[in-house]
Amino acid sequence: MKHSIILASIRFLPGLLSCHLLFSQPQQSLPENCATADDSKQSGQNVSVLFWNVENLFDYKDDTITSDEEFTSGGTMHWTFSKLQKKLAHVAKTILAAGQWNPPALIGLCEIENRYVLNKLIYQSPLKTFGYRIIHRDSPDSRGIDVAMLYRHNAFIPLHTEWITIRFPFDTAVTTREILYVKGLLLNADTVHLFVNHWPSRRGGEAVSAPRRNVVAAVLRAKVDSIIQSAVGSIQSAVHSPQSAVRSPQPTVSSLLNFLPTSLPPYLPTLLY
């Protein structure tokens, strides 16, 4: 998907997120190496979440284990350090503009080559003053392009990170980007679940690309459904527990489920959920 930037604004309500794509889970203990958010609960605030296909954010060096020769000084793009610096500056300025000079708390990125370009983006650009941290790893994609998530450490605490590998049963030699799943605490107010996706392109036509995209859709849907089932189980346990009788008013399971999607369509665009 070309030239795609998706910006969503989430408004917190006490106890629940007013967003159908992000939903609550019981808070877990924090890992020792995670950032510490402000101790106070923050409700009634808007939080920006951005997704962007940055389109071939490569460094200028040849990686001998991926097919990135196009983005080297001797390749067809004649990619150099100065061109990389210019692209990074444009990406940083666009992120700042998207947040109206208050950059998004969460940013999903695709088509980035490695940790090097991400480090330069958040530590050597105008974004360096906003406290971004990185969730990333090298993917098995043949070109070496990855997905990643950036988060402002004073707004978001990662609780769990998972890289979901995609395998095509009808073509085991083909590799593609993983799905990044992140569960975390946002504004110390609620736990959210996010997926960063970069599905196989439609290059070659629908007949060629659809089977692979269907596989990714099925993997994503299965993971999301498993989280929803876990959330439903937690809600039911809370509603039927002895302690729930002293709470007033007590929400019903059906009212809480109105905040959760029941399923995913067979096709989804490249989005951050």
Task: Determine the pLDDT at residue 47.
Answer: 85
Of 19-33, 123-137, 226-240, the least confident: 19-33
For 198-225, write each residue's pLDDT tens digit: 998 887 788 778 999 999 999 999 999 9
- Could you tell me if residue 269 is inside a domain? no
Average pLDDT over residues 141-156: 94
For residues 140 and 168, is the Cβ–Cβ distance under 8 A? no
Average pLDDT over residues 139-160: 94
- Could you tell me if residue 271 is inside a domain? no
pTM comes to 0.74
- Could you tell me if residue 230 is inside a domain? yes
Task: Determine the pLDDT at residue 57.
Answer: 96
Task: Give the domain extent around 35.
Answer: 5-257
Q: How many domains does the chain have?
A: 1
- Could you tell me if residue 85 is inside a domain? yes
Task: Determine the pLDDT at residue 173.
Answer: 83
Task: Determine the pLDDT at residue 192.
Answer: 92
The residue behind tokens 């085991």 is: 172
Q: What is the CATH number of the domain that holds 73?
A: 3.60.10
- Could you tell me if residue 87 is inside a domain? yes
For 77-95, write each residue's pLDDT tens digit: 999 999 999 999 999 999 9
- Could you tell me if residue 80 is inside a domain? yes
